Structures are given as C-alpha cells and as structure tokens.
Chain A
C-alpha cells in the first residue's frame, strides 16, 4: 500500500492503520522505518514534489518482489512542506519471519533513495531551495544529452 499525504505524516495514525491491516494475516514480523526532518543548516522545513504515475510503478514492482518472498510492503510519503522534527516518510515490511523483513526494509529504503521520483527542497525564510547536492541521478539519466 502506497499513501501520499499533504504536509507532515501523522505517524501514530499510519502506524496503527498498518498494524491493524496486518494483525490477522499470520505475519510473524512487522518492521517500520520512520524518516524525520532534522534541524540542520538553518532549515525550517523540507519540502517535496513527487510524480505519482512513476512512483506507483516503482512501488508496484517492489511489491511484486516482496510477494515472491511472502512479504508485503507499506509506504507513506509527504508532498509539500514538512517542518523540522516531524516526519515525511514511513516504510514497513510484513513477513512471515524476521530475516526477510530485515533484508527487505534495507533494500527497499535504499532503492527508494536512489530511484523513487521524489524531489526534496530545503525551506529557508519561506523559500524552497532544491537539494541538488543530496540528490541522485535516476539510473539511465543523461539519455537526451547528445
């Protein structure tokens, strides 16, 4: 399940919803990852844009990989401004046993950083500044630079 929310995530509500979803499905492991905006570099908030059609495809491909291992993925992400000390990203894995969940949460979150079509901006004095130096080119970038 992929969920997009405007502004900061309500972590407790999302966590409770996911846990309830998995409660009767005989999963032995449930691992969550929560990304929180740190106060650094004078920012007030981070801000995000995303492109849902390709994000959904990317997520669906991961869900298929998870399914092959008997697991299930959940993800929630913000669009727009997310103030410091609040959360913009949650991911979770349900699996029958712990080992698959531990491996998948690592692989999924790392690939999310590299390939999910989401753009991050620092917010300083109300201005959005693209976080270019922390961003990664998607695999295959530069195709039109001929």
Chain B
C-alpha cells in the first residue's frame, strides 16, 4: 500500500510539475507574443505618423479630451507636489547648512528637469492611458471599429494616430503647466515659512535655471506622449474579449504606460541632461 501510495504521490507530483512547466512556458510564449505585437504596433504607429495628412478635427477633439480636461488635475497635483518637494528640499539643504535663498533655485531645477516631466507622465498615464485603453476596447467589442472599417475609414489612423498625436502635443504643454504649478506650490510653502516676497522668490527661481533646463526635458515629454498613447491604444485596439477585456485593457494600459514613463524618464532625460549639460547633470 505504501509503495502504491508513494508511486501515486510521485505520479501526481510529476503531473503537477509538468502542468506547471506547460503553464509557465505557455505564459512565457504569450508574453513574448504580446511584446512582439506591441513592438509591431509601435512601428506601425511611427510609420503612419510620418505619413500626413492627419485627421485634424479628431486630433483637436482628442486634444480637448486629453489635454484640456487633464489641466485641473495637473494644476492641483503640481501645487501639492511643489509644497511637498519644497519641504523636502528645505529639510535636506538646511541640514547641510544652506541658507533659505538657495532653496527656490534648487526647487526650480528639480521641478523643470525631473519632477515636472515625471509627474506629468505618470498622471497622464493614469488618467489618459486608462481612458484610451477602455474607450478603444469598448469600440472594438461593440463592433464600432469594424463599422468604421466597413465605411472605408482607416480605423487605425482615425482612432490610434489621432490619440497618439494628441498625447505628443499635450504632454509638453501639460509638463510646462505642472512645472509652474509646482513652483507656485513651492512659493506657498516659502510664504508660510519665511517672509520672502513673490518678486524675490521668482527672481531666485530663475536665477540658476537656463532655457536648456526647461526646453529639453519638456520637449522630451513628447516621447513620453508617444509611448503613453501607443501603449494605451495597443491594449484597447487589439482587445478580443468582452467586458473582462475592457477591464484588462484599461489596467494594462495604465501599468505598462507608468513603467515606460519611469524608465524613459530615467534613461532619456538623465542621459540627455548629462550629454548636453555635463557640468550640471547632477
């Protein structure tokens, strides 16, 4: 009995490990297929972007949805982040014996070069990535994408390219708003802790910040816009399931967009800053 039981246990163990191995390999092959699909989708987006004309009316509608309607979120978040960062910068610098006067300059460099692009990218990934993913998924499962195609309208150009273009245009503008909102938040903190006037604060904010600190990182957020728009569109446009698919499309859009934004912020912005401004990268 013991021998038989042991053999049965081993057989069961073997079959469980076999099924796990099969499940792992199928999961890996699914992930691999999804990754290559996403890359192909990205190249197709890039190719179509290089072939105008684009649908200007739809782009302006998407700019309103993606850009204008994100503005309140960006402004409020910017002010709050500005207050928090000012507090952190003050705590760190005071410990090293720095005086209050250097805080606005350090704050503005952090905002323009790192926090503005990063925070805007993350917030847009959350708000817009989810919206694009869910909207395109609903259009797909209700047959509206097929309906567009049946009416001889290129659904990829009408739905995907317009959203990606809107993201590319909106991100730098929203980043600018975010950076200035953060600086305004910094002033609120400063005003609550010292008697620094607005004129003096503004003067010190721009004291050590050049155009390069603002223009390059802000323009590079156009790349983040391309990535957020493409990733979100991919998950929505290619969904094949029903209501579950909408949930997954929206969730995956947000998760992957956020990861890409963080990674790109780290790689592109840091590398570019150290390349163009070697003395001021750190």
Do A and B bind?
no
A residues adjacent to B (C-beta < 8 A): none
